Amino acid sequence: MITPLKIGDTLRGRYRVQQIIGQGGMGCIYLADDLRLVGRQCALKEVEHDKTLPENLLKETRDQFQREATVLARLDHPNLPKVSDYFSIGNNDYLVMDFVPGNDLRTLMLEKREKGIHIDEKEVLNWSYQLADALQYLHQQDPPILHRDIKPSNLKVTPSGLLKLVDFGLVKLMAPGEVTITILQGQGTALYTPLEQYGGDIGHTDARSDIYAFAATLYHLLTSKPPVDARQRFINPASLTPIRQVNPAVTMKTEKAIQWGMALHPDNRPANVDQFREALIGSRPVSIPSGNRVSIKPPLLSGRALEKQWVIMIAMSLITLLITLLR
């Protein structure tokens, strides 16, 4: 059970907690005052580690946090919050980032939906350009950095109109040949998570996994309707409603690009963010592989991988059924 910090608590004699602005299974995010720089507010991300982990695994997890935090602190991009500090207290690790004012895209989408309208496609594409720029920057780092939890609530628009990709809770460094441990063990948010990211098998995720989440986020913003998650689509490939059936104002070009980005098998998606951005908002026509329609066939997996996917999905179905019966 996570015990949040109290309002007024001060960490390292510098960061005074003002309020909780986010909470999850592995810790909280706080708005804090930086007492060393008067007038500066920051976001303080807390990571509470599982005390029941074997000592060697706990050490490995915390070492991974240190490595990832060091890399994040070196990042400098206008569409990413700046990581300014990191430290550990007891069993908890902390990441200090710029506090980003403004609304997240989920809030903006819900406001439009309450009025019975959709967010304008041009506005969504403007955000897309900025998000693509941030992801390209992350993916071009050495080693490349994956965000692994792109979704509307992790995208904020500042009062000046600048998009910020926030919450690096599931970030993964793609060091060649290295099996990494994610700072927060998890697979992202189901609606935006590609198949390859399930089951904790992070060795098979790459830039195309972020592209899937990027495309699923755009689907949600343009339709005001949550995308069908990848596990359901694996079982029923026709379950994802085409964008233009929900919002006819969206252009065919945008719909096709998002379909491409949401292909179930990573080999059927754009190879990189630049390719996806060109398909979305490029000036010249892009040839999208013909197999990438909304009702695409399930990905061809090896026998072992296929068996693993089915075991995961059957287990999830049984858990859902059990919860329903116990209500």
Is residue 300 predicted with pLDDT exceeding 60?
A: no
Asked if residue 72 is part of any domain, the answer here is: yes
Whether residues 239 and 121 share a domain: the answer is: yes
Do 258 and 114 lie in a common domain? Answer: yes
User: Taking the CB of residue 294, how many other CB atoms lie within 10 A of it?
Assistant: 19
Looking at the chain, the whole-number percentage of residues with pLDDT higher than 90 is: 58
* 192 token code pair: 């935006």
| 216 vs 200: CA distance, rounded Å | 20
Domain identity same for 214 and 114: yes
For 49, how many CA atoms within 13 A lie in the half-sphere containing its CB?
25
Looking at the chain, the whole-number percentage of residues with pLDDT higher than 70 is 77
Residues with Cβ within 8 Å of 124's Cβ and at least 6 positions away in sequence, in order, are 218, 221, 222
> Does residue 210 lie in a domain region?
yes
- pLDDT band for 323, please (50, 70, 90 cuts): very low
| Residue 42 token pair | 């920051």
In this structure, are 231 and 128 located in the same domain? yes
C-alpha span between 166 and 156 (Å, rounded): 7
14: helix, coil or strand?
coil
Higher confidence at residue 176 or residue 205? 205
Q: Give 67's pLDDT tier (boundaries 50, 70, 90).
A: confident
Token pair 């909780």 is found at 20
24-38 mean pLDDT? 88
Q: Which of 98, 125, 147 is the last residue of a domain?
A: 98
**C-alpha of 159 from chain center:** 22
How confident is the model over 112-125, as pLDDT tens digits? Answer: 999 999 999 999 99
For residues 321 and 256, the model is more confident at: 256
Indicate if 154 and 258 belong to the same structural domain. Answer: yes
**Contact criterion met (CB below 8 Å) for 118 and 108:** no
Whether residue 108 lies inside any domain: the answer is yes
DSSP H or E run through 235:
helix 230-235
Q: Tell me the β-bridge partners of 155.
A: 165
In this structure, the answer to whether residues 257 and 118 fall within a common structural domain is yes
Q: How far apart are CA 278 and CA 311, in angstroms?
A: 37
With both helix axes pointing from N to C terminus, report the angle between 207-223 and 273-281 in degrees, rounded to the nearest 10. 30
Tell me the per-residue pLDDT of 184-227, one tens digit each, with 9 for 90 and over.
334 457 899 999 888 654 557 899 999 999 999 999 999 999 99
Instruction: Find out whether 148 and 136 touch, Cβ atoms under 8 Å.
Output: no
Please report the pLDDT score of residue 296 as a whole number. 34
In total, how many domains does the chain have?
A: 2
Worst-scoring range by mean pLDDT, 34-43, 138-147, 305-314?
305-314
Both 160 and 86 in a single domain? no
Q: Specify whether 18 is located in the same domain as 128.
A: no
Q: What is the 3-state secondary structure (H, E, C) of 82-117?
A: CEEEEEEECCEEEEEEECCCCEEHHHHHHHHHHCCC
Average pLDDT, the chain: 83
pLDDT at 200: 55
Domain that holds residue 227: 103-298
Looking at residue 167, its pLDDT comes to 78
* Domain co-membership, 47 together with 182: no
Reply yes or no on whether the pLDDT at 179 is more than 60: no
CATH of the domain at 238: 1.10.510.10
If asked whether residues 131 and 171 sit together in one domain, one would say: yes
Averaged pLDDT, 137-142: 92
| 31 beta partners | 19, 43
Is 314 within a domain?
A: no
* pLDDT over 90 at 48, yes or no: no
**pLDDT band at residue 180, thresholds of 50, 70 and 90?**
very low
Q: What is residue 148's predicted lDDT score, i.e. its pLDDT?
A: 87
| Lowest mean pLDDT segment, chosen from 62-71, 161-170, 200-209 | 200-209
Most confident of 66-75, 115-124, 139-148, 317-326: 115-124
3-class DSSP state of 59: helix
Strand partners, 85: 96
Q: Which pLDDT does position 72 carry in this prediction? A: 87
Are residues 112 and 224 part of one domain? yes
